[in-house]
Structure 1
């Protein structure tokens, strides 16, 4: 889509400088913003996927204290990594498994040195375009413009950028100053995180783009539709995580012992009984997280 599809200000250098100065003067402090270590930044990015940042901070500190680099994470028992992930409610346990495998790739395939470009970083297990670009930006200052939900909301409101992924990418790329992906991407994500929030705080947060912002001028603060995640409480995700945590406490458990620990309403032939539990375990087994032994009474253990 051409530039005519959106209206970026003519004096872009002034717009860029206003945002960067606003960010540098005052921004939220997170431990991953105080480092350029690609391992720590990758850990933070994977943890931050659909997880509140306040919860990520505590988990991040504990994780990097226990496994401070890719080599030690790669050497760790995978069940311990998955157990940590589940115990800190960090979302899908697959992310812990992928992070563990990515650390192994860095150690064995890249001789302990992290790849530095978005394309190379996507060779790591579980690392998609967004995460690869974030690591390249924040670790190596070598990324493209980041486009996440916050950035889309900022661009849509400030410069009337249409709700289209390619157009958002074009607009973000045109705005970002060359060779400044580390500071710029942090700054524009911060703008969306503290000023251009769902309920905007333009004046309270002293938004640096008020002079150019279409929404501020018109009062129309509509934003692109954001897919909502299904509730965690009572979800399959919750019971998958609970199963992993329980198995982390035992060498192995029979189905008859595991079921009541996973659900208080577990009954062998009930709606949430043996068949339901077997389906849950099949999912975890397909993900390589548990091993199910059907020789005699069915028993389950974490995959080591």
Structure 2
């Protein structure tokens, strides 16, 4: 079991106060930081999973204009929600499906009120540990210490914490002041997002932890490996998005009419042919996004309502 204290300065209170003062003095003003509405925060967290925050702002505002409350989203047509996701390039479409199903669970099983703990939130469809904790923190000030890639990088550099999930979690938990998960998790993620990036901006961003920081002292700014995002162009994710967009336009299509609209090199018997397309569509069907039916000798695809 990791002893978090061995990695932290003796004056831990000063470390905490320095970060919170730095954050409260100046931070990026995202609209979801101005609300404690659990629904609005959940939407922002799901959208942010694969999209840069600056790009999320307009999509988040448009989404809430279309479906202002969790009840509105629960009552929406799922194909419309998935279509919105595709149109705004917000990553895997099944996240839209899960967000829609989570809204239905909140309305049907919780009377429209979100659970207030990470454990309760994680019972909602598609809400994993990180998202559940973020919503509990930012909506209800009732979360645990967030440990994402940015936080790991900060702790690794500042306090020479080993590249180990248990160690990161122990130190992050020890650092977070009791009852202040909302401001603390926002602050430490902000530190990783604007000061302790892959290429650090210690002095430029006025990092509040420079006097304690091991990396700043040694000028060794290595950090744990960060998984690279796969190329989007030509990816399976891009092809899935094209299927959804095309079926929204044409309602339903047989494979050989759908295929050329997904890939210009589609050929029924080729590498990117019926077998490839059927596999892609089957994955979408398993995710509850597409329906497949046999019509004579042809397989026909349409969006699932």
TM over 0.5: yes
- Given the alignment of the two structures, is residue 33 of structure 1 paired with residue 33 of structure 2, yes or no? yes
**How many positions carry a matched residue from both structures?**
304
Alignment correspondent of 1:301: 302
Alignment correspondent of 2:266: 266
Alignment correspondent of 1:209: 209
Task: Report the Cα offset of residue 3 of structure 1.
Answer: 1.8
After alignment, is 3-12 or 190-199 more displaced? 3-12
Alignment correspondent of 2:101: 101
After alignment, is 294-303 or 142-151 more displaced? 294-303
- Decide whether the 8 Å contact of 1:145 with 1:181 is kept in 2: yes
TM-score, with structure 2 as normaliser = 0.98
Aligned residue for 2:265, secondary structure, equals coil
Alignment correspondent of 1:219: 219
Write the deviation string for residues 53-101 of structure 1: whole angstroms up to 9, x where unpaired. 1221121111111011111101100011011111111111111100000
Aligned residue for 1:90, secondary structure, equals coil
- Given the alignment of the two structures, is residue 72 of structure 1 paired with residue 72 of structure 2, yes or no? yes
Aligned residue for 2:291, secondary structure, equals strand
TM-score, with structure 1 as normaliser = 0.98
Supply the distance in 1 between the matched residues of 2:7 and 2:99 (Cα, whole angstroms). 40
- Decide whether the 8 Å contact of 1:42 with 1:135 is kept in 2: yes
Alignment correspondent of 1:233: 233
> Structure 2 unaligned runs (5+)?
none
* Structure 1 segment 1-304 matched on structure 2, within 5 A: 1-3=1-3, 6-296=6-296, 297-304=298-305
Supply the distance in 2 between the matched residues of 1:150 and 1:28 (Cα, whole angstroms). 16
Supply the distance in 2 between the matched residues of 1:160 and 1:59 (Cα, whole angstroms). 38
Aligned residue for 1:196, secondary structure, equals coil
Aligned residue for 2:250, secondary structure, equals coil
Moved over 3 A (4+): none
Supply the distance in 2 between the matched residues of 1:260 and 1:58 (Cα, whole angstroms). 32
Supply the distance in 2 between the matched residues of 1:112 and 1:66 (Cα, whole angstroms). 18
1:102–1:188 Cα change, 3 Å: same
Supply the distance in 2 between the matched residues of 1:195 and 1:4 (Cα, whole angstroms). 23
1:4–1:83 Cα change, 3 Å: closer
Task: Report the Cα offset of residue 50 of structure 1.
Answer: 2.2
Aligned residue for 1:147, secondary structure, equals coil
Task: Report the Cα offset of residue 5 of structure 1.
Answer: 7.8
> Structure 1 unaligned runs (5+)?
none
